[in-house]
Amino acid sequence: MDLADKSQPIRPDEGFDESALEAFLKDSLPNLSGRLIVHQFPSGFSNLTYHLRFGGHEFVMRRPPFGTKAKSAHDMKREYTILKALKPFYPYCPEPLAYTEDPSILGCPFYVMERLRGIILRKNLPAGLTFTPHEMQQLCETLLDVLVELHQIDYDKAGLGELGHPKGYVRRQVEGWSKRYRDARTEDAPDFEAVMGWLAAEMPSDTPSPTIIHNDYRFDNVVLDEAAPQKIIGVLDWEMATVGDPLMDLGNTLAYWVQADDPEESQLMRLMPTHLEGALTRRELVKRYMSKTGRTADDFAFYSAFGLFRLAVIAQQIYYRYYHGQTKDERFKMLIFGVHVLEKAATRVMNEGFF
């Protein structure tokens, strides 16, 4: 049974000049002949991801979304450079193959990388795939361990010492995401002012041991081996990677982690099968991370609340584009519901502590 992640026909208004892309690929990559076939991977709310086929060759192309976007977001060259540098140290990175910012091809910068063929878990398991409780536990442990591997890479040896500025990282994150939320808020969105004020008051000092952080690490950004689905063979979507506090990275991951005992409204916005029997809880993930890394946090509430807030900002920024008619993608319509749920969850952490 073929459980590999499937591409689909290109969504309306997200097509481009395929002949120009074909010519670029034939100039840039060896041994390509025949006709280019382009489909689109259906998931994701940020950069657009396309499936390219030339006969027996398969590639993936990443490009920014159509419409208005944040000036510093969707930096294709940065993402490509990170993959180039990390690949020798972190085998889960897909191999980057070609990059261009020539506007005559697609009208925007983009890059092409190898396709890592495998299973990507989304809201529910694909038909034909099951995990026993023990297998689900092992998969969650592996997911956490692969993140730990990233955090243990010497970023200077990888040539990524200039990737970020760890001094003042937490403060910049709190201030920057607060500004982004206020700029993207629509009339139907919560104000988040209490949460933003609490984060500003409770932020920890700079970590003495910053690391490379992925900043969007979750189940649907990893690729599982088709033959052994508990094995991770790839980590995708590096657009927000930087050097900073790894506990912030873990907090961002946990923002997506809807577990079986969470409220019904949280279950409705679940994006991954983290509710299945055997899946680690958020507390168990934090405990395992601290055990493997030797790091400590007196109270993980700040990192958890920030992760929930940041996820709300991301959802609100995308919803803003839909609200103002900058995109017609109907998937974005319900994101405002998620923003409200995340505001309640962040408030609960703020008042009751990490859970």
Give the residue from 202, 310, 312 showing the smallest Cα distance to 250. 310
pLDDT > 80? residue 72: no
**Average pLDDT of span 8-30:** 93
Percent over 90 (pLDDT), the chain = 86
Six token digits for residue 263:
């409220």
- The C-alpha atoms of residue 255 and residue 218 are separated, in whole angstroms, by 9
- The C-alpha atoms of residue 78 and residue 240 are separated, in whole angstroms, by 9
For 111-142, write each residue's pLDDT tens digit.
999 999 999 999 999 999 999 999 999 999 99
Indicate the domain borders of the chain: 18-114, 133-352
**Average pLDDT of span 159-175:** 96
Give the residue from 78, 41, 63 showing the smallest Cα distance to 108. 63
pLDDT > 50? residue 70: no
For 169-227, write each residue's pLDDT tens digit.
999 999 999 999 999 999 999 999 999 999 999 999 999 999 999 999 999 999 999 99
pLDDT classification of 56: cutoffs 50, 70, 90:
confident
* Residue 94, CA distances (Å) to 23, 49, 58, 82 in order: 23, 14, 12, 11
- The C-alpha atoms of residue 5 and residue 225 are separated, in whole angstroms, by 11
* Residue 62, CA distances (Å) to 59, 71, 79, 240 in order: 10, 17, 10, 14
Give the range among 52-56, 177-181, 195-199, 230-234 with minimum mean pLDDT: 52-56
- The C-alpha atoms of residue 105 and residue 23 are separated, in whole angstroms, by 9
Give the residue from 5, 7, 24, 28 showing the smallest Cα distance to 16. 24
pLDDT > 80? residue 332: yes
Give the β-pairing of 232-235 and 222-224: antiparallel
pLDDT > 50? residue 147: yes
Query: So what's the pLDDT on residue 68?
Result: 47
The whole model's pTM is what? 0.92
Is the domain spanning 18-114 CATH 3.30.200.20? The answer is: yes
| End-to-end Cα distance, the chain | 38
For 263-317, write each residue's pLDDT tens digit.
999 999 999 999 999 999 999 999 999 999 999 988 899 999 999 999 999 999 9
Six token digits for residue 240:
């927000």
Give me the phi and psi of 18, to 5 degrees please.
Answer: -70, -30
* Residue 333, CA distances (Å) to 221, 339, 355 in order: 22, 12, 29
- The C-alpha atoms of residue 295 and residue 281 are separated, in whole angstroms, by 19
Question: Residue type at 333?
Answer: K
Give me the phi and psi of 38, to 5 degrees please.
Answer: -120, 125
For 2-14, write each residue's pLDDT tens digit.
677 888 999 888 9
Query: So what's the pLDDT on residue 13?
Result: 83
Matching fold, domains 18-114 and 133-352 = no
Query: So what's the pLDDT on residue 331?
Result: 85
pLDDT > 90? residue 73: no
Architecture per CATH, domain 133-352, reads as Alpha-Beta Complex (3.90)
Average model confidence (pLDDT) across the chain: 93
124 and 178 in contact (C-beta within 8 Å)? no
**Average pLDDT of span 44-59:** 86
Give me the phi and psi of 30, to 5 degrees please.
Answer: -80, 155
